[in-house]
Chain A
Amino acid sequence: MQWAILSGIEGNLAAYEAVLQDIRRQRNPVADLYIIGDVVGLKGDNEATIERVRSPRSGELEPQVCIGWWEEQCFSLHGLSGLPDAPELMAQFGGDGVKHLWKSVSRESVGWLRSLHFGFHELDCLLIHGSTVSYADELTPDTPAIQLCDRLIRADANTLFCGRSGLTFECWVTPGKLRSTVTTLDGKQEPQEQGKTPRRVVGVGSVGRIPGQATYTLYNPGSDRVTFNTVSYS
């Protein structure tokens, strides 16, 4: 049994369908389907994608969905959280992007998106769009080692699955030695031992960002093995 972890559909329904089909074909059955944010975006039909995610067909898995960067932009546009008028969206995609997102996601759908979780703690894993610092926190293989380590400590998890970068990667972070000494008004305290367990950040890829090529992640909690799948579609 394994999990399928998706991110970044971005309204690209054809890409989502292709990934669902690939999941059905797995020899080792997929027992849980996670979508860690960015169901909507500028890559297709947001309403149709939301409907497809919300209403799986008979025999299909019920996806567990959390909030991503694009959902946060919807909330901002609708005055539901963060700064008003989606300044991040405006800065990255301009007025046309703002207009498109505003028109392509109904108020009712925004209400549903607002009801989603910020992330999922499952076994010793955290599944989240960015990190616990922010939905916009973009972790990549180039993120400084100390920052990756910090995000894992904050996540309180051995594996942090994230999707903001859209990349597929597995970064194992192993803390080595660190001498920490604390002195208070009462004198020097006993030296503290720091955790040395290797932990990892996994970028789960992006379903809809690159036209014709969807990437997603399979995770087997029994073997702790991560597999990245690429699905071509037309």
Chain B
Amino acid sequence: MKLAVISCIHGNYEALNAVLSDIDDRKADQIYCLGDLVGYGPHPNAVVEMIRSLDIPTCQGCWDEDIVEGLNACECSYPSQLAEQRGRVAHEWTNNTIHPEVREYLATLPMTLRLDNLCFVHGSPNSQHEYLLPSMDGFAALERILSTDADVLFCGHTHVPYVRNLEDGTLTVRVQQPGKDELETQFETPLKQIVNAGSVGEPRHGRPNATYVLYDTDTAQVELREVPYDYELTCAAIIAKGLPPIFAWRLARGMEFAERADDPSHVCQR
């Protein structure tokens, strides 16, 4: 079965349409979505309606959670005061724009989805806010996959797609306890994989094209997809709707500069 996994659409209807057309062309059997349907972008309601109408299994992203729960994360949400100001403007705008039934739908989204040996999350199995960056320590990354009991962990949140193979992992643990013999055990792991789906609506890999992934469950092959679309339409709508123009600027360049997280491994303790 061929799966298409999309993430981080962020109210970008133009990008979503282009990606859905590409998925059609590639003849995927099933689409999974890793959340962040809203935030930053100008068309949150249309994006949610599209996802719902296609009955796409979707997990809750951090922006979806913030719209449901309110902005009550700890100070981790934004790396700078400037970023916080702009993020709050986008949050308020989205919060005022979305329809009640859209908010209700976002509240129903699960944290994780499963399909056989595959697990789907937004950020990490711990939190929608945790970034699984490709540079993360391999054993820490392995722990995130093993905690789900899956072989392949699909995530988004970083907006940059990648595939990470972790294989032949070994750990030795030596335990000393008063009154007991010393015990040494060795722990080995088979191949595990993290697949980051990138971002449909707010890519940050250095080009403005939308990104997503295809996964073949029979061959375990992953294909990172990059889809051109008319991003200028979205940029114009961002400005027309009164969202911070920096969102249009970075969308046109496919890059993130001001809002790179200082401590991407931080887990928000709401």
Chain A residues proximal to chain B, CB less than 8 Å:
133, 141, 144-150, 153-154, 167-185, 189, 192, 194-195, 228, 230
Q: Shortest distance in angstroms between B142's beta carbon and chain A's nearest beta carbon? A: 6
Contact A181 B165 (CB under 8 A): yes
Known: A173-B171, A230-B178. A178 touches B226 (CB 8 A): no
Contact B170 A176 (CB under 8 A): yes
CB neighbours of A153 from chain B (8 A): 137, 139-140
Chain B residues proximal to chain A, CB less than 8 Å:
126, 134-135, 137-143, 146-147, 160-178, 183, 185-187, 189, 205, 211, 224, 226, 265, 267
Contact A146 B146 (CB under 8 A): yes
A175→B177 CA distance, assembly (Å):
21
Contact B142 A178 (CB under 8 A): yes
CB neighbours of B205 from chain A (8 A): 184-185
Contact B140 A170 (CB under 8 A): no
- Checking B140, B167, B211 against A154 with a beta-carbon cut-off of 8 angstroms, the contacting residue is B140
CB neighbours of B226 from chain A (8 A): 185
CB neighbours of A150 from chain B (8 A): 139-140, 143
CB neighbours of A148 from chain B (8 A): 173
Pairs of residues from A and B, 5 with the lowest C-beta to C-beta distance, nearest first:
A176-B170, A150-B143, A145-B187, A180-B138, A178-B169
Contact A184 B161 (CB under 8 A): yes
Among B134, B137, B211, the one with the most A-chain Cβ atoms within 10 Å of its Cβ is B137
Contact A169 B176 (CB under 8 A): yes
Contact A183 B162 (CB under 8 A): yes
Known: A146-B143, A147-B143. A195 touches B173 (CB 8 A): no
CB neighbours of A182 from chain B (8 A): 134, 162-165
Q: Shortest distance in angstroms between B9's beta carbon and chain A's nearest beta carbon? A: 18
Q: Shortest distance in angstroms between A18's beta carbon and chain B's nearest beta carbon? A: 18
CB neighbours of A181 from chain B (8 A): 164-165
Contact A194 B137 (CB under 8 A): yes
A171→B174 CA distance, assembly (Å):
6
Q: Shortest distance in angstroms between A182's beta carbon and chain B's nearest beta carbon? A: 4
Further pairs besides A181-B165, A182-B162, A184-B134: 15, Cβ < 8 Å: A144-B187, A146-B187, A150-B143, A153-B139, A167-B177, A168-B177, A170-B175, A174-B174, A176-B170, A178-B139, A180-B166, A184-B160, A184-B205, A194-B137, A195-B137
